[in-house]
């Protein structure tokens, strides 16, 4: 059976969407291929990589990619991780069966190890719920 494709989007693809990608790969990599991208890609935040490492999640190979790279591709789910005020990262006009908006505060606002850890935990909790809901289909 082929893996489901999931794309995580946020503004810079430097923290939240990278954490989502790494978490999903870690939690259910046998069922899902995870990707991430940003509207205005930056570089991976060291704090985000450190938070993943502290959580025991492999962070190798994570890179900030532009949303343009994926626009022509089809995904089973696209998960947008940004604050409600950030409209620019809500524009996904590619193909997906399921489009979700998860309101996760940008850890760069505080830019502390704690804020990144909190974002990681929020994303992981939502992924656990989403995976549990999907497994009942």
CATH assignment at residue 81:
3.40.50.2300
Cβ atoms < 10 Å from Cβ of 122: 18
> Is there a contact between 20 and 36 (Cβ–Cβ < 8 Å)?
yes
Domain count, the chain: 1
What pLDDT, on the 0 to 100 scale, is given for residue 88?
Answer: 67
The tokens for 118 are 């909190």
What pLDDT, on the 0 to 100 scale, is given for residue 86?
Answer: 62
> Is there a contact between 79 and 6 (Cβ–Cβ < 8 Å)?
yes
The arithmetic mean of pLDDT across residues 76-95, rounded, is: 78
The arithmetic mean of pLDDT across residues 96-114, rounded, is: 91
Lowest pLDDT segment from 4-13, 15-24, 56-65, 85-94? 85-94
The whole-angstrom separation of Cα 130 and Cα 43 is 28
User: pLDDT per residue over 52-66, tens digit each?
Assistant: 999 999 999 999 999
Can you say whether the dihedral through the CA atoms of 134, 73, 28, 46 is positive or negative? Answer: negative
What pLDDT, on the 0 to 100 scale, is given for residue 11?
Answer: 86
The whole-angstrom separation of Cα 10 and Cα 67 is 9
> Is there a contact between 41 and 16 (Cβ–Cβ < 8 Å)?
no
What pLDDT, on the 0 to 100 scale, is given for residue 92?
Answer: 77
pTM of the complete model:
0.93
State the residue range of the domain holding 23: 4-134
What pLDDT, on the 0 to 100 scale, is given for residue 19?
Answer: 97
Q: Which of 105, 90, 108, 87 is closest to 43 using CA atoms?
A: 108
């Amino acid at each position: 059976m082929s893996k489901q494709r999931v794309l995580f989007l946020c503004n810079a693809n430097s923290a939240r969407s990278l954490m989502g990608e790494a978490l999903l790969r870690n939690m259910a990599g046998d069922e899902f291929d995870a990707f991430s991208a940003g509207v205005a890609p930056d570089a991976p935040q060291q704090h985000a990589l450190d938070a993943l490492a502290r959580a025991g999640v492999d962070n190798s190979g994570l890179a900030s990619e532009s949303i343009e790279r994926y626009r022509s591709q089809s995904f089973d789910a696209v998960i947008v991780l940004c604050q409600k005020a950030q409209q620019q990262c809500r524009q996904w006009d590619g193909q997906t069966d399921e489009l979700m908006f998860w309101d996760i505060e940008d850890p760069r606002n505080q830019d502390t190890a704690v804020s990144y850890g909190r974002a990681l935990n929020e994303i992981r909790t939502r992924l656990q719920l989403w995976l549990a809901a999907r497994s009942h289909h």
